Structure 1
């Protein structure tokens, strides 16, 4: 059984971009495109993940649009609640600000900022316990792929969170597969390779939870309008986590349109 009946997700991860005026213009352009060329919410869920400084402003801008576009936090604290933790933003503070979605486990957090599996688990648990939906990122390095360890690495990352996600909480987990070697490099896993990994992820999820067959699994890694249709045609690819292309409203819209009209 494939995930072809799942409503796709297309989420733009802005990372540490852009400046405030550019962010405002980007949102305005996206809203205009979605107004002029409607993508029905039943065809595709759409979200953007701005920097934490911009979460509330972007959310306010998007709320005035003709359809729901979710505002997604790029990360959260491993510490729950409130307290003397300088620079941290907890799951509860995100929820209190009306943010319902958060990225966890992105390879840049793991590789650059030292988010170990234990830290990632704390973040996932805090997010879900606070009522957030987690977009959980997994992926292998080029070395791991060349050594034949890609599937083992990714499935281990899926298993890592099984201890902190309760049976009835898997419905609030979206998985995003991003091969590290394809992030920001212009390289993309072939649709066949991406589909093969997505199928393995779905198989692994289904061994952990009965919800595995209905969970959305997104592909990330140099997704652009030129490859979106081919990726969207793969039965177990249920959307995209988009990096650089999400900083251009027209490119991001075209990717969302591809998934909305291919699935």
Structure 2
């Protein structure tokens, strides 16, 4: 079971959406909800992960938000520093722009864009060395779940992480469990199934690091306001990585409120 002092995280992964004008409107709408009902950092860490060309405009738009909202990069290069790497953005360049958080290992990056284990590990290493906080994504496919391999697959991904994280870097790790079969499909793991996997992840982390009980583990996979309250009530689910619902300010805010209420 997680440490009850873990502050939840709710992060909206906008993926390849939306157009700039719509992203600005989305932020203005979110800011209005947070003005009406503020959520403190002690209640919930809120973040949004826009497309790369929107990172700085969104960051600027959030400066006067009533509640702090973190800006999260959706990915970064496996190449560190600067150099002749056309199309790449390193952890150091993100840090230089005051972008302190990054998603790594999302299933869409692994499956569509060929981020294999070594690429993912290189990205985690570079991100941590640049001083970023990593939201590290794990999850199994439907075929792996039906074959009874879900826990094995997910725990192997946790072990992959352990090979590149130093003992004093675990406080810069957040884990996001996303069953691949529930991403963008409308299907959601039951709260019981999600909690069971989160408990396994927690146990795996605890075997690797003394910080295991303190690491936030988020659930992702068609999280909506309708299921957020049940998910938030699970002892080892410390927040949500939200896809489609994060493109609607009202829905995203309600999900954040569901997790923030745990800390009231």
TM over 0.5: yes
Task: Give the 3-state SS of the residue equivalent to 1:185 in structure 2.
Answer: coil
Unaligned residue ranges in structure 1 (runs of 5+): none
- Distance in 1 between residues matched to 2:64 and 2:260, nearest whole Å: 22
Contact 2:92/2:130 (8 A) holds in 1: yes
Match of 2:253 in 1: 253
* Structure 1 residues 210-262: Cα deviation after superposition (integer angstroms, max 9, x where no partner): 00000000000000000000000000000000000000000000000000003
Per the TM alignment, residue 140 of structure 1 is displaced from its structure 2 partner at its CA by 0.1
* Structure 1 residues 107-163: Cα deviation after superposition (integer angstroms, max 9, x where no partner): 000000000000000000000000000000000000000000000000000000111
Contact 2:73/2:102 (8 A) holds in 1: yes
Match of 1:71 in 2: 71
Unaligned residue ranges in structure 2 (runs of 5+): none
- Distance in 1 between residues matched to 2:3 and 2:261, nearest whole Å: 15
Match of 1:120 in 2: 120
For this pair of structures, how many residues does the alignment match? 263
Match of 1:231 in 2: 231
Match of 1:23 in 2: 23
Contact 2:107/2:138 (8 A) holds in 1: yes
* Structure 1 residues 177-229: Cα deviation after superposition (integer angstroms, max 9, x where no partner): 00000000000000000000000000000000000000000000000000000
1:143 is the counterpart of 2:170: no
Match of 1:177 in 2: 177
Contact 1:3/1:237 (8 A) holds in 2: no
Q: TM-score by structure 1 length?
A: 0.99
Contact 2:40/2:68 (8 A) holds in 1: no
Task: Give the 3-state SS of the residue equivalent to 1:175 in structure 2.
Answer: strand
- Distance in 1 between residues matched to 2:116 and 2:40, nearest whole Å: 38
Contact 2:141/2:181 (8 A) holds in 1: yes
Task: Give the 3-state SS of the residue equivalent to 1:11 in structure 2.
Answer: strand
What does residue range 1-263 of structure 1 map to in structure 2 within 5 Å?
A: 1-263=1-263
- Distance in 2 between residues matched to 1:59 and 1:29, nearest whole Å: 15
Task: Give the 3-state SS of the residue equivalent to 2:187 in structure 1.
Answer: coil
- Distance in 1 between residues matched to 2:94 and 2:188, nearest whole Å: 32
Task: Give the 3-state SS of the residue equivalent to 2:136 in structure 1.
Answer: strand
Task: Give the 3-state SS of the residue equivalent to 1:63 in structure 2.
Answer: coil
- Distance in 1 between residues matched to 2:120 and 2:212, nearest whole Å: 20
Supply the RMSD in Å over aligned alpha carbons. Answer: 0.7
